[in-house]
Structure 1
């Protein structure tokens, strides 16, 4: 039997996929807490996903290195664990009655920390009973702009540990004092921080007064209404003297970190390197909707979405025009056409636009495509996809019609060579057999890398997709 005599510093581990840093979202422990081997101590956000980080040491928390919102490099100190008697790193003495640990606890669990992703962390978060974070009064009294512009203000390890409790505000709180904010979701805290909302002023509508995202959005809407009312109350004020923001308001500064930074870098690189061209066409999707209705009527237990049918049509087009299922290898000065279609699906999430990938999508049936699309997009929005599922695409399908828009000229998801966009499907006048009729019409756009093909190939692919949308029976010849 051996004893834990000295403090042990746990460094931020390699989180896989070549990631070099992570942003601290929420500490699960505070200075003075006792932790066990493999206990989750912090939730961090990388460029790929939000994950829980387990600590391989057991003991008492001596220091937390970094505050919520701070970016920590891989290999730098994350948390310091000391012996239960509280001895520091220079104190080797073991008082009588000191608790002992097994050798394996001293050495850590031995679990591999490299490359784990949300597949592990997400499950831990679902099983964990939520902890209510009480915003301290000092934070509640601070201006909202300070929260938005200085996410890493605390400098001491103790300051970085957010007090937590499962109870509501104390009964003896005076009516005039700032009310403690009960928050469970890190997303809610981040939204409030980014939009400059003081959580202490928000009344929660959840159980026990827990603040939900809808409460923060309602507070934002109320603030906007109040600002508009103040502007409207200015009697005959000259336009030159009317400010766009209420007096005392400051700019909201949002740090470009995590997934937002990766999106910005990737889109900037795509725009710099890829000579992209966008072409588009309006198509009559009436027959496609009728085909979907017939499929789902035959098997209502396994419904097929319009997105799944469009994915099937894209796969048919890429089989005929493989030049678009490719990427340019600039270092090797060559164009690489992929053997399989790794289909990326653009999905809007609370963390930004993600493109999860369905690998070898050409091997799936239409029903399998529908099931995979539903499961994958749901996991992306929940933040439970492992980082490997967000890379390696060869062609992207983007249904921006869900935002109520008709067309777009999107930026290609680097290093892919093409992206098909689909607008909303709306009733429009359309000529059918020489007669004017009301039909279900949508706009398709194809953005492609002009280095991999010329207009003839791109136009041929888009026309094939349009023909299959208008006449789904054409797919039978290619499936």
Structure 2
């Protein structure tokens, strides 16, 4: 006998309440093991593979790729038990039965290795059981009225296990309708579909959600009429609509909140970076791991924050208080194929240039691969934005809410510059500071930016604090 268990979208942590289905890793009819990843979802923070705490045969999936689901919504159902797979999906079900038995021999002891807030160590709630005999299925569901002249059930499908059998309309099935899931019944009822005309592809003819959806799609296709073609000009005028969801939606929400809540201001200064570039070249020529320019800028930034701690803070709007933070967790803007992300280097103020270089490289690679965790993207207290990589000199960026400031660095290029009283060609960079005017006034912001510029122009200034 098999027991059908429902697996819901677990709490993904960091206050996230929904996720978008990016890619299903299993199909209806597949045999899954305990803790096997079954779906890849995208949250506002990162891409996550969600493991299923149950082992058995997948009997239904809820939501197509691209669908957003709230935490607690059903993801899939799994038939667990020693013989759950014998009728999973046509001929393949029989061969899958031994695998299911092996995978589910200990299915009553769930692993617990699921995501935040979703424990599986305790016993699962009792569910209705599914038998392979048609009579057993009939006993498990409530009886439905059947016309007197009812024909025999249609023969079972022989579709491959990875593809549910098409739900074709046929003569009404005699006896109770083999449906367990109340969600399947609700879907059919809302769409006006008679379940007695649906051919089930589950164990012993059990009607699955996929069967109902296939029947609805077939009915819509049969009733469809040729649509009047839309003129190309009208399509062009309408424009393309791009949903604001996932990372793009999270960025939009955060930037909108920043602009709404934070009275920001920006100041900037040009600096001669010739000596900083020479210092970096000397460090790398001395041997050992190479030091990145971003790491040197981060060292300068954290030293400046130690002198001007007002900028390493946040504002508690409810309490009307400025909260000065004890540690510098430095975010840095990184452009990826999924959009702009801001990974965070923890305790940046205590790291060496080598440690910062290594951590920047690790987080940048994770950002490119889409493997950043929610923890990698939260908890920042100040952001360093190197927009010079885009070939621009300056910017007035939006503060990364709920932080209080952001240091921007433009491209470093040769420019005419007065050096030691004479005109020379020097490597010049524009630095900008966007800050929350609630945490400090222009004098503090200007002092911070001037100290950063002095360190860029004369790196030896840092020796006073080392």
Is 1:27 the counterpart of 2:24 in the alignment? Answer: yes
Alpha carbons 1:64, 1:158 under 8 Å: kept: no
2:86 match = 85
Quote how far apart the aligned CAs of 1:360 are.
1.2
Shift of 1:157: 3.7
Whole-Å separation in 1 of the counterparts to 2:213 and 2:51: 18
In the alignment, which of 241, 249, 260 is matched to residue 261 of structure 1? 249
Matching residue of 1:315 = 302
Q: TM-score, normalised by structure 2?
A: 0.70
| Other structure's SS at 1:7 match | strand
Contact 2:52 2:114 in 1 (8 A): no
Determine the structure 1 residue equivalent to 2:12. 15
Q: Provide the TM-score with structure 1 as the length reference.
A: 0.69
Residues 332 and 477 (structure 1 numbering): CA distance in 2 closer, same or farther, change over 3 Å? Answer: same
CA contact (8 A) 2:50 2:114 kept: no
Structure number with greater Rg is 2
> Structure 2 residue aligned with 1:275, among 263, 267, 280?
263
Superposed, which structure 2 residues align to 1:313-352 within 5 Å? 313-352=300-339
Q: Are residues 38 and 455 of structure 1, via their aligned partners in 2, closer, same or farther at CA, if it must alter by over 3 Å? A: same
Q: What secondary structure does 2:23 align onto?
A: strand
**Structure 2 residue aligned with 1:52:** 49
Q: Which moved more, 1:316-325 or 1:79-88?
A: 79-88
Deviation of 1:418 (Å): 0.5
Alpha-carbon distance in 2 for matches of 1:33, 1:97: 13
Q: CA offsets, 1:430-462, max 9 Å, x none?
A: 111221111111100000000000000000000
Worse overlay, 445-454 or 56-65: 56-65
Task: Please state whether the residue corresponding to 2:72 is helix, strand or coil.
Answer: coil
Q: Any conservation in 1 of the 2:59–2:88 contact (CA below 8 Å)?
A: no
1:353 aligns with 2:354: no
Secondary structure at the counterpart of residue 474 of structure 1: helix
Distance in 2 (CA, whole Å) between partners of 1:159 and 1:43 is 24
2:205 pairs with 1:251: no
Cα distance in 2 between the residues matched to 1:343 and 1:159? 51
Q: Which residue of 1 aligns with 2:167?
A: none
Equivalent-residue separation in structure 2 for 1:160 and 1:69 (angstroms)? 17
**Is the counterpart of residue 397 in structure 1 residue 384 in structure 2?**
yes
2:277 matched to 1:289?
yes
CA contact (8 A) 2:54 2:107 kept: yes
On the 8 A contact 1:325/1:418 being kept in 2, the answer is yes
1:98-128 deviation digits (Å, cap 9, x = unpaired)? 9746563145323242179xxxxxxxxxxxx
- Show structure 2 runs of 5+ residues with no match: 90-96, 119-207, 215-230
- 2:447 is matched with 460
Q: Kindly state the Cα deviation for residue 54 of structure 1 after the two structures are TM-superposed.
A: 1.1
Q: Could you report, residue by residue, the CA deviation over 1:174-194 in whole angstroms, capped at 9, with x for unpaired residues?
A: xxxxxxxxxxxxxxxxxxxxx
Aligned length: 349
SS of the aligned residue for 2:427 comes to strand
Shift of 1:385: 2.2
Match of 1:40 in 2: 37
Deviation at residue 55 of structure 1 after TM alignment: 1.2
- Determine helix, strand or coil for the equivalent of 1:348: strand
Distance 2:44 2:99 in 1: 42
Change in CA separation of 1:433 and 1:99 when aligned onto 2, cut-off 3 Å:
closer
Shift of 1:402: 0.3
Q: 1:456 is paired with a residue of what secondary structure? A: helix
Check whether the contact 1:26–1:42 (CA below 8 A) recurs between aligned residues: yes
Q: How far off is 1:415 after superposition?
A: 0.7
Q: 1:382 to 1:311 in 2, by over 3 A?
A: same
Preserved contact between residue 67 and residue 160 of structure 1 (Cα < 8 Å): no
Give the distance between the partners of 2:210 and 2:272, measured in 1 at CA. Answer: 61
User: Quick check: 1:85–1:98 contact (8 Å CA) kept in 2?
Assistant: no
Equivalent residue number for residue 369 of structure 1: 356
Q: Secondary structure at the match of 1:410?
A: coil
Counterparts in 2 of 1:281 and 1:56: CA distance versus 1, 3 Å:
same
Structure 1 unaligned regions, length at least 5? 89-95, 117-154, 162-242
Q: In angstroms, what is the RMSD of aligned CA positions?
A: 2.7
Q: Distance in 2 between matches of 1:115 and 1:260?
A: 26
Aligned-residue offset at 1:476: 0.6
Q: Secondary structure at the match of 1:372?
A: helix
Counterpart of 1:451 in structure 2 is: 438
Which digits, 9 at most, give the CA deviation of each residue in 1:188-247, with x for residues without a partner? xxxxxxxxxxxxxxxxxxxxxxxxxxxxxxxxxxxxxxxxxxxxxxxxxxxxxxx9x988
Identify if the C-alpha distance between structure 1 residues 79 and 359 changes in structure 2 by more than 3 Å, giving closer, same or farther: same
Distance verdict in 2 for CA 1:396–1:105, change over 3 Å: same
Secondary structure of residue in 1 paired with 2:367: helix
- Whole-Å Cα distance in 1 between the matches of residues 334 and 352 of structure 2? 21
Q: Deviations over 1:309-356 (max 9, x none)?
A: 110110111111111111111112111111111111111111111111
